Amino acid sequence: MLVFSAHAADFCSRAGGCLALYARRGAAVHVVDLTYGERGESEDYWARPGERALEEAKQIRAAEAREAAAILGATIEFLDWGDYPLLVDGERLEALARLIRSRKPDIVLTHWKHDPFNVDHEVTAAAVLRAIGMAAVPGFAPESERIPWPQVYAFEPTVPRDDATGFVPDHYVDIGEVFEIKLRALAALRSQTKLVRFYTQWAEYRGFQAAQSARRPVRYAEAFERYTATVSDRLPETF
């Protein structure tokens, strides 16, 4: 599983339960953090008294994200491409495509394509989808092995604004058995202390939705929308 996160907390807040489940079941889970979220995703750092600086914010966010990823059972790397605004040019697209080829993921998680409340998320989604397409064509980096398209899922955009983002989940992951792990990982992101409270509420909300389809109790869930279709000789089981 390869996870592309615009900022240092996105992978954990939106999909940390799913990552923990996959890691617990033996999957290799790797997070690629395009930025540290040093400008726009570190509000508790900037609210501290005394002198503050972007480089210090980056160092703090990196340490927090490493701790959170380790709690979830994932590895992580940082590209340090700068947030607000995050810009992805041709050179950076090629870097993403080479990274995807080297990792050969079965599953890719990233942001939803529409998020007017955080355009860094939109930029990340567009870049990742384009880079996957580059990595899959035969003429890109012919010295390396071509990869098939992975299964690609979008996690939550800015919540609770599905009315403006068009995000309509078509898959829920029951994260009840690992929810305490996700909470510990969220608590490690000390530059955004609101995440624990906010994403506890949201996991309960998604759990309520999931239970309606599962026809069994689901207390906590995470929601996803597929970018790629499933292909089989039957409809997937829903419960």
Q: Is the pLDDT of residue 238 over 60?
A: no
**pLDDT in the model for residue 237:** 59
- Residue 109: φ, ψ to 5°: -115, 135
* Predicted confidence band of residue 83 (pLDDT cuts 50, 70, 90): very high
Paired with 173 in beta bridges are 222
Supply the pLDDT for residue 180.
98
Q: What average pLDDT does range 137-145 have in this prediction?
A: 85
* Cis amide linkage into residue 85, ω under 30° from 0: yes
Number of H helices, E strands in the chain: 8, 7
Q: How high is the pLDDT of residue 160?
A: 81
pTM of the model: 0.94
| pLDDT for position 146 | 82
> Average pLDDT for residues 199-223, to the nearest whole number?
95
Q: Mean pLDDT of all residues in the chain?
A: 94
* Domains of the chain from N-terminus onward: 2-226 (3.40.50.10320)
State pLDDT tens for residues 175-193: 999 999 999 999 999 999 9
In the predicted structure, residue 236 carries a pLDDT above the cut 70: no
The pLDDT value given to residue 54 = 94
